[in-house]
Structure 1
Amino acid sequence: MTTGHMEHTAHEHPHGPSCGHTAVQHGDHTDYAHDGHLHREHSGHWDECEPAGHTAHEGHDHRHGATCGHRAVEHGDHLDYVHDGHRHAAHQGHWDCH
């Protein structure tokens, strides 16, 4: 989910299975964690893949952290945790879906 179409300009690095960046399956596409933000391929260029609005993950009683077993991905000023095909981020006592 993105907030509009936010192209990452001047992005010359081609992401893929061997690029060295963490790949995160996100719905029908793959995001790549790069320098604290996430990129997705779109029509021959790379977009910033940012959540639109605030979407709480209801009924999520699992606590993510260093030993939870889910992959942590740096995302801006926080960590997202890859869980069941989407990313969770801690937010005001609950987990958001990214």
Structure 2
Amino acid sequence: MTTLHHEHPTHQHTHGADCGHQAVSHGDHVDYAHDGHLHREHSGHWDECEPSGHTTHDGHAHAHGADCGHETVRHGDHVDYLHDGHRHAEHDGHYDDH
């Protein structure tokens, strides 16, 4: 999975433990859910942290939903579910791995 480097140029808010936005562990860093997308600190600025391409999570037998026990993250026009250190998004009868 590749992450685009798309700087959020007018981001004046500083994310952190008490900023009020949901923190999402993402590999070696933390993303913050803000206005329907994820922000990541990078080299003194904030990036939009979005995957490129379409990565299917194969072999995912668990069905996510309101009572599945996984934390949710509002992401644009859908909800992602935090599962095993990554985000799952339902798509065309399977889950994508963000």
TM-score band, normalised by shorter chain: over 0.9
The 1-side partners of 2:85 and 2:17 are apart by 17
Instruction: Please name the residue that 2:3 is paired with.
Output: 2
Structure 1, gaps ≥5 residues long:
none
Structure 2 CA distance for aligned equivalents of residues 30 and 93 of structure 1:
29
Query: Runs (4+) of structure 1 moved beyond 6 Å?
Result: none
Number of residue pairs aligned between Structure 1 and Structure 2: 97
What value does the CA root-mean-square deviation take over the aligned residues?
0.7
Shift of 1:7: 0.1
TM-score (norm 2): 0.96
The unaligned stretches of length 5 or more in structure 2 are: none
Could you give the per-residue CA deviations for residues 14-59 of structure 1, whole angstroms, max 9, x where no partner exists? 0011101000001111110001000000000000000110000010
Distance 2:58 2:27 in 1: 18
TM-score by length of 1: 0.96
- The structure with the largest strand share of the pair is 2
The answer to whether the aligner puts 1:20 opposite 2:20 as a matched pair is yes
- Identical columns (%): 72
User: Structure 1, residues 58-87: CA drift from partner, whole Å, max 9, x if none?
Assistant: 100100010001011000110000011100
